Structure 1
Amino acid sequence: MSLISACCNRPPVKIEYTPKGEIFHLENGLRCYITGSKDSKAAIIHNYDIFNYHPNCFHAADIFAEAGFRVIVPDMFRDHPVKVEMLGDRQKIMARLIEVGMFPHLESDYKAVKAYLNAEGFDKIFLTGYCWGAKMCMALTASDSSYLGGALFHPSLLDEDDFKNAQAPMIIQPSKEDPDFTEWYQELTAKPFGKYCYLQVYDDMVHGFTSGRGEWYIP
């Protein structure tokens, strides 16, 4: 399990965006961003990358909301993300992720997020995630078969067991700087839901193109 070089060295873009949703806190103190109608037919738990609440993360959540979903973005790092100052030092970045970003330490918070959506009336819940967040999508489906599926954008930290243990279909979209996951992807397609899985490598994009390194302001 490791981060690719681009993830550890290239800073996020500086960009401005006005979120359409709101920030609130669950009963356990977990900060969350939520957007989209409560009357939506399904919900999404959107998992950010190592840079936490970057403007593009809110923008993507709002786009999913406009497509008809109720979207929640939990601050699983609890405001302790990887700092820009850590870039260039893979050991420091991994140490921070081990400290705040390993699934066994976060599982109770994820259960609280799911319980919140259930209380709003949502039993159809999908997962999306960038980079580190893609790893969380895989871990969530391995631990809970009720999630309907996941979309993984420029995934990082994945290993073969993630593919073997996933219990929901996955859309996987690596960049040219990421592993293409072709071999491990066969683990997904061999499952009963395999026909609903999809893999597309964006060989003209860099790692982070849908999140903190995406220059969305360029037409």
Structure 2
Amino acid sequence: MTFVEACCNTPPTNAEWVNMGVDKVLPTKVNGEDRLTYRTGPKDSKRGIIGVYDILGFHPTTYQFFDRLALANGGFQVSVPHVFKEAFPAAQLMGNRPALREWVFKHGDYKNSHIDALIRAAVKDLRADGCTSFSIIGQCWGAWIAVQAASEEDAVFLAAGGPHPSMMSIETVKDVRCPLILLASKDEDDMIPVLESVKHKNFAVESFHKRFENMRHGWCGGRGDWKDPEQFKAGLEAIQLFAEYFAKVVEVSEQQ
């Protein structure tokens, strides 16, 4: 399982954004510890989204992406847990794929780093605030985490996926229990075979894919700078596609 090459050699940008949400301590401890999550979006929405940032962690465009997603298509309550307990050392690891991979799997393994429990705690928190439906979205490596969460036997997610997904393969999605939405940049592998591989599951909503050929890996997260008009336009389009898709899976679920 390998990272997209651009993920390993493209540093974060110096973008700007004033956060619309707030950090809060999750009411449920994870492995005996208090953990933080970033909460944003209208508190009266019953539609919840769990977000997973890319390997760079929280950066201005990451916050902007989730803040804008929370307000799109009628609004969602969005919870983005602080997955890494220490900051990713980008200056040391960019360009060194083996070292980068070692750090991420040491600090961000789905089971060993208790990310599974962290996501469950974030879902429980959203449910306590009135959410009755849930989707999960991850950026880059986060999309791989999102798919693992959506492959659990007790998964509650109606949809999973993310922008510029890394480490995505037919093997990755073989156990997924909900439809996928994957928005690739020019740097990722072909996602169509991945989505074709889950068609036999006959989900009520068909999986969705679009490739943004003019975007580089990470444009919706830490490597994005939406002061660039082209990136901003593509970012808003991605948000709208995700919001429409997540709203659709909720609507279909409520009709069943």
Secondary structure at 1:139's aligned position in 2? helix
Match of 1:79 among 82, 86, 107: 86
Alignment CA distance shift 1:49-1:148 (3 Å): same
| Alignment RMSD (CA, Å) | 1.5
User: Are positions 1:24 and 2:34 aligned together?
Assistant: no
> Runs of at least 4 residues of structure 1 off by over 3 A?
none
Deviation of residue 155 (structure 1)?
0.5
Corresponding residue number in structure 1 for 2:67: 62
The one-letter code of the counterpart of 1:121 is: G
Corresponding residue number in structure 2 for 1:199: 209
The answer to whether the 8 Å contact 1:80/1:100 transfers is no
Corresponding residue number in structure 1 for 2:233: none
Separation of aligned partners in 2, 1:193 and 1:82 = 40
Question: Normalising to structure 1: TM-score of the pair?
Answer: 0.94
User: Are positions 1:133 and 2:142 aligned together?
Assistant: yes
The answer to whether the 8 Å contact 2:11/2:90 transfers is no
Deviation of residue 194 (structure 1)?
6.7
Separation of aligned partners in 2, 1:145 and 1:109 = 13
| Residues 44-53 or 121-130, more deviating | 121-130
The answer to whether the 8 Å contact 2:170/2:194 transfers is yes
Alignment CA distance shift 1:195-1:122 (3 Å): closer
Q: C-alpha deviations, 1:66-88, integer Å up to 9, x for none?
A: 12000111011123325232101
Separation of aligned partners in 1, 2:16 and 2:213 = 27
Deviation of residue 63 (structure 1)?
0.5
Q: Which runs of 5+ in 1 are unaligned?
A: none
Corresponding residue number in structure 2 for 1:172: 182
Separation of aligned partners in 2, 1:158 and 1:194 = 22
Deviation of residue 210 (structure 1)?
1.2
Aligned-residue identity in percent: 30
Separation of aligned partners in 2, 1:35 and 1:132 = 22
Question: Normalising to structure 2: TM-score of the pair?
Answer: 0.81
Corresponding residue number in structure 1 for 2:151: 142
Separation of aligned partners in 2, 1:75 and 1:81 = 12
The one-letter code of the counterpart of 2:77 is: R
Secondary structure at 1:174's aligned position in 2? strand
Corresponding residue number in structure 2 for 1:53: 58
Deviation of residue 213 (structure 1)?
1.7
Alignment CA distance shift 1:195-1:39 (3 Å): closer
User: Are positions 1:124 and 2:133 aligned together?
Assistant: yes
Instruction: Give the paired residue count.
Output: 219
User: Are positions 1:185 and 2:185 aligned together?
Assistant: no
